[in-house]
């Protein structure tokens, strides 16, 4: 059995912002089809689509109104099927996002639940009829987790009020999702990215969140039975389909429980994603990751960006280079030149580690966070729900620049739904593919060399603690210099993230070596 997902490079397409095929300023499937060659040339193994389903877009599609169709802004189901076969014809697998924790408030189940206090559909959600708000839980986007209906009942939403949480104790909720999985497996998708995977199960007693006590909705033990059931469905299909969890948990051990042999194949390495550009922390995350994955035979993943976090070139150029939602602030000074140098080094580091790697659209172009989006154009519920304290995630979701001297940079014919910085005239795909020193050229070379990196785990090479040096097999080494001084190395350079300094490896630079 082939296990493509063990060392795949998976490219995340955020459909609203990849490419616009019909000129309405919003990306769509026609745009993806027209630019599939970009992903073929880049050398990716799979595409993960952020949600493409019909949705009021209260959370950019993570509020799903119909799990068995395509958002009309993006295209049609027939077009998605065509896109799946076109990608397959290029040997590219397709992973889609599945959002099980909540639905859109426009979903027929929730609409039926709202229609009357006696509607049986209320059982599919978390409705309560108390006078006071049932708990003081704080939502994942900030603010309360309860909203009152017109008839005075409360319903639970861990995210926006347009995203009511499903009751996973109800058999209909479970059956519905198994059927949704089958719907897409029948259409040839190769896997699912499971949104907010650790949040599904709630303690029905709705206790307060107390340090040291089991959490009322994070990572409850019963959630694993859900993924065991999903895994059985996945495994009943031919081909080599995969489940990838979005599991945010502080403990690597708890995280690994989602990767037991009868659960998910892999999960996003969010510790690596959030790690500062700091050698001790990176080494610790790499070691923890390998330590908990290896005994399970699970696949480690390496991620430096996605649609929820600050773009790496912006983040790595700051004094505080780690990411956390709580500390995320715009306008914190950043040195984009330094950030770019480090993002290049981080790319080669992460792409040399054993396991699967993710590339979020625009990462391969070295795009920075757009921190200049006017308040009236901001769309992210995080921005609205935090009373504008949190800038939200719009800045990493700006439409891609393809070509040309000014916005919309070939994204489409109309004005893009979020404004693109003028400086992106130097970051278009067209400009970068003609420049061997560009970020795009680095990613293309890295993805191509990566295919010859020996499989199997890594072996650390003795080095200065601020230098991350490891071998894969006997013939390949990767050295990332996070120290303040240039360091010597031996081996033949295959690829370097930046210029070498008289045979030495400069600070903030990574090399791949043949030994």
Supply the residues annotated as catalytic.
195, 246
Least distance (Å) from ligand GLC to the CB of residue 75? 21
Least distance (Å) from Ca ion to the CB of residue 36? 16
Contacted entry of Ca ion, ligand GLC, none for residue 22, CB cut-off 5 to 8 Å set by kind: Ca ion
Least distance (Å) from Ca ion to the CB of residue 26? 4
Binding mask 14-53 for Ca ion (x = CB under 5 A): ------x-x-x-x-x-------------------------
Six token digits for residue 489: 């190395």
Contacted entry of Ca ion, ligand GLC, none for residue 97, CB cut-off 5 to 8 Å set by kind: none
Contacted entry of Ca ion, ligand GLC, none for residue 28, CB cut-off 5 to 8 Å set by kind: Ca ion
Alpha-carbon distance 198 to 40, whole Å?
A: 33
**Which residue number, 385 or 450, has a Cβ lying nearer to ligand GLC?**
385
Q: Taking CB positions, which residue lies at the least distance from ligand GLC? A: 62
Contacted entry of Ca ion, ligand GLC, none for residue 24, CB cut-off 5 to 8 Å set by kind: Ca ion
Q: Return the percent helix, strand and coil in the chain, to nearest 5.
A: 30, 15, 55
CA angle 503, 504, 510 (to 5 degrees): 115
Secondary structure class of 481 (helix, strand, coil)? strand
Q: What does residue 441 show for φ and ψ, rounded to 5 degrees? A: -65, -40
Closest CA to 398 of 414, 420, 376, 367: 420
**Which residue number, 28 or 195, has a Cβ lying nearer to ligand GLC?**
195
**Which residue number, 28 or 190, has a Cβ lying nearer to Ca ion?**
28
Element of type H or E holding 273: helix 270-274
**Which residue number, 230 or 470, has a Cβ lying nearer to ligand GLC?**
230
Q: Residue numbers of the site for ligand GLC (CB under 6 A)? A: 59, 62, 99, 159, 195-196, 246, 307-308
Alpha-carbon distance 221 to 249, whole Å?
A: 13
Q: Are strands 301-303 and 356-360 parallel, antiparallel or unpaired?
A: parallel
Please report whether residue 59 would count as binding Ca ion according to CB under 5 A: no
Please report whether residue 71 would count as binding Ca ion according to CB under 5 A: no
Alpha-carbon distance 386 to 376, whole Å?
A: 15
- What does the radius of gyration of the chain's CA atoms come to, in whole angstroms? 23
Alpha-carbon distance 267 to 290, whole Å?
A: 13
Least distance (Å) from ligand GLC to the CB of residue 164? 12
**Which residue number, 24 or 466, has a Cβ lying nearer to Ca ion?**
24
Six token digits for residue 62: 């993570």
Alpha-carbon distance 156 to 238, whole Å?
A: 38
Least distance (Å) from ligand GLC to the CB of residue 102? 7
Would you tell me which residues interact with Ca ion (CB under 5 A)? 20, 22, 24, 26, 28
């Amino acid at each position: 059995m082939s296990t493509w997902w063990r060392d795949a490079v998976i490219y995340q397409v955020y459909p609203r912002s990849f490419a616009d095929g019909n000129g309405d300023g919003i990306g769509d499937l026609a745009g993806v089809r027209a630019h599939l060659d970009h992903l073929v040339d880049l050398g990716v193994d799979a595409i993960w689509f952020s949600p493409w389903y019909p949705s009021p877009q209260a959370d950019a599609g993570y509020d799903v109104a119909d799990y068995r169709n395509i958002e009309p802004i993006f295209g049609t189901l027939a077009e998605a099927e065509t896109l799946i076969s076109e990608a397959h014809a290029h040997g590219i697998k397709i992973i889609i996002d599945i959002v099980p924790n909540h639905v859109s408030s426009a979903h027929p189940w929730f609409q039926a639940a709202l229609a009357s206090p006696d509607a049986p559909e209320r059982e599919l959600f978390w409705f309560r009829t108390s006078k006071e708000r049932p708990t003081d839980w704080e939502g994942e986007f900030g603010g309360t987790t309860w909203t009152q209906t017109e008839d005075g009942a409360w319903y639970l939403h861990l995210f926006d009020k347009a995203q009511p949480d499903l009751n996973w104790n109800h058999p209909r909720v479970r059956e519905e999702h198994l059927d949704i999985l089958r719907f897409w497996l029948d259409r040839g998708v190769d896997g699912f990215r499971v949104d907010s995977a650790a949040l599904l199960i709630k303690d029905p007693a709705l206790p307060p969140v107390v340090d040291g006590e089991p959490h009322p909705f994070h990572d409850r033990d019963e959630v694993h039975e859900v993924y065991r059931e999903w895994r059985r469905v996945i495994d009943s299909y031919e081909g080599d389909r995969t489940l990838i969890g979005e599991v945010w948990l502080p403990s690597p051990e708890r995280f690994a429980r989602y990767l037991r042999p009868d659960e998910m194949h892999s999960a996003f390495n969010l510790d690596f994603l959030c790690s500062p550009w700091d050698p001790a922390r990176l080494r610790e995350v790499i070691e923890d990751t390998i330590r908990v994955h290896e005994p399970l035979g699970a696949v480690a993943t390496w991620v430096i960006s996605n649609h929820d976090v600050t773009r790496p070139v912006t983040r790595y150029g700051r004094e505080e280079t780690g990411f956390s939602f709580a500390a995320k602030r715009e306008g914190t000074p950043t040195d984009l030149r330094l950030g770019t140098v480090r993002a290049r080094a981080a790319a080669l580091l992460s792409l040399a580690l054993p396991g699967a790697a993710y590339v979020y659209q625009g990462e391969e172009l070295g795009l920075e966070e757009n921190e200049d989006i006017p308040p009236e154009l901001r769309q992210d519920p995080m921005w609205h729900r935090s009373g504008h304290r949190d800038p939200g995630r719009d800045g990493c979701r700006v439409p891609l620049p393809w070509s040309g001297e000014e916005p919309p940079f070939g994204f489409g014919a109309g004005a893009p739904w979020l404004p693109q910085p003028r400086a992106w005239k130097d970051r278009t795909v067209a400009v970068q593919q003609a420049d061997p020193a560009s970020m795009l050229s680095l990613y293309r070379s890295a993805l191509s060399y990566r295919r010859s990196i020996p499989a199997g785990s890594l072996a650390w090479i003795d080095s200065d603690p601020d230098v991350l040096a490891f071998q894969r097999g006997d013939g390949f080494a990767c050295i990332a210099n996070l120290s303040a001084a240039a360091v010597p190395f031996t081996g033949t350079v295959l690829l370097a993230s930046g210029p070498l300094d008289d045979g030495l490896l400069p600070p903030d630079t990574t090399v791949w070596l043949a030994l």
